[in-house]
Amino acid sequence: MKLRISETLPDGFLDAEAHSLAEVLEGPTLIHLPGRREPPLFCAVLLHGNETTGLSAIQSVLRKYQSMELPRALSILVGNVAAAREKRRVLVDGVDYNRVWGPADAAGGGLAGQVMAQMQTRGVFACVDVHNNTGLNPHYAIVNKLDPRHLKLANMFSRQVVYSLRPVTTCSVAFAGVCPAVTIECGLPGASFGIEHAAEYIDACLHQAEIPDGPAPRNDLDLFHSVAIVRVPGTVSFRVGQPGADLELAEDLDHMNFRELAPGTVLARCHGQPSLCLEVTNEDGEDVANDYFERHRDEIRTRVPVMPAMLTASEDVIRVDCLCYLMERVDPGSFGAQGL
């Protein structure tokens, strides 16, 4: 996967929509722009081709500074323009650009390795990876390290922050080893509030002289720990809002996101299969399905209080990624600079 490098803003970039960006960029491109302060802020956009808020937000910020110097140098990774052209998360049989950042990849010569080499050579102030959800979720930030600087960077975007260690192959996980890093989740693609919020946040990051160490934020922070990933096994057929498959998921299941579900809440119905019809793995990759769910006749119910995030009604996303993540609330005062 060849990475293009540009030291100037490509012609036509500011006016291109995500689906037409392939006419401006030939593929994944890292754009380095100078600014008043160094080292650069790193922003990743369009790692998923149908998550367009990051591109729109970056374009908004760059239009603001067209006739003036950026407050800080800015490096922009524009990811899957080929998938964006087809308005898809990834191309059929293609690579998920936010699942190529594992330790070996980030140290190698693939896309992740090339980007990491570029940014470590230049130094990097902070990493912001901009994403959208396919289901209803509040705007929130994800950190992969419980360090005060990471939490402060996240809290600048939202009081709702999720601490997650999986998947280990995401952009923010790779950058968390070298600088404060966050993923920001900006709601549904194309929503004007999401674009404005992301643009304001990126602009605020560019204006930061430093991200100070010291006590982590507490009073204005709702911190959650992502403890498990819920997937539908490949051997189980499913439909959202319709019968006729092994697993029947509610059409409005994304309304459960960031809500604490009481024990006994029905998440789905399973037909013609003897199992739970769900795979649930914790951070160590262990099967914990029976810790969180139980089956009563054809109903899949919660066994304990759980709070899901990223529940989606998109069958494509459920199949290629996951159904949701399960979270537990964390007291920000229960850890120090080294983590929990």
At 263-311, the pLDDT tens digits run 999 989 998 777 788 999 998 999 999 999 999 989 999 999 999 999 9
Q: Which residue has the tokens 């922050």?
A: 161
**Residue 179 and residue 276 share a domain:** no
What residues does 239 pair with on adjacent strands?
A: 248
Look at residue 207 and tell me whether its pLDDT is greater than 60.
Answer: yes
- Residue 174 inside a domain? The answer is yes
- Residue 161 inside a domain? The answer is yes
- Answer with the residue of higher pLDDT: 338 or 169: 169
Cis amide linkage into residue 34, ω under 30° from 0: no
**Residue 246 and residue 277 share a domain:** yes
**Residue 255 and residue 176 share a domain:** no
Give the CATH number of the domain where residue 16 resides: 3.40.630.10
Look at residue 340 and tell me whether its pLDDT is greater than 50.
Answer: no
**Residue 153 and residue 9 share a domain:** yes
- Residue 339 inside a domain? The answer is no
**Residue 108 and residue 31 share a domain:** yes
Q: How do beta strands 181-185 and 293-296 pair?
A: unpaired
What residues does 126 pair with on adjacent strands?
A: 41
User: How many other C-beta atoms can be found within 10 angstroms of the C-beta atom of residue 212?
Assistant: 10
**How many domains would you assign to the chain?**
2
Look at residue 227 and tell me whether its pLDDT is greater than 70.
Answer: yes
**Residue 67 and residue 16 share a domain:** yes
- Residue 61 inside a domain? The answer is yes
As a whole number of angstroms, the distance between CA 198 and CA 204 comes to 10
pLDDT at 339: 42
pLDDT at 335: 54
pLDDT at 79: 96
- Residue 340 inside a domain? The answer is no
**Residue 125 and residue 27 share a domain:** yes
Which of 220, 236, 268 is the C-terminal boundary of a domain? Answer: 220
- Residue 185 inside a domain? The answer is yes
**Residue 322 and residue 200 share a domain:** no
**Residue 262 and residue 136 share a domain:** no
pLDDT at 313: 84
pLDDT at 337: 39
- Residue 333 inside a domain? The answer is no
**Residue 151 and residue 59 share a domain:** yes
Question: Which structure tokens are listed for 286?
Answer: 């262990």
Q: What is the mean pLDDT of residues 317-337?
A: 80
- Residue 338 inside a domain? The answer is no
Question: Dihedral of the CA atoms 24, 30, 36, 41 (nearest 10)?
Answer: 130
> Percentage of residues in the chain with pLDDT exceeding 90?
73
Q: Which domain holds residue 168?
A: 4-220
CA distances from 26 to 3, 12, 146, 182, 333 (A): 10, 13, 37, 27, 47
Which of 186, 220, 254 is the C-terminal boundary of a domain? Answer: 220
Which range, 83-92, 193-202, 314-323, is most confident?
193-202
**Residue 104 and residue 203 share a domain:** yes
Q: Which residue has the tokens 């099967």?
A: 287
> Percentage of residues in the chain with pLDDT exceeding 70?
96
**Residue 157 and residue 10 share a domain:** yes
Which of 177, 197, 220 is the C-terminal boundary of a domain? Answer: 220
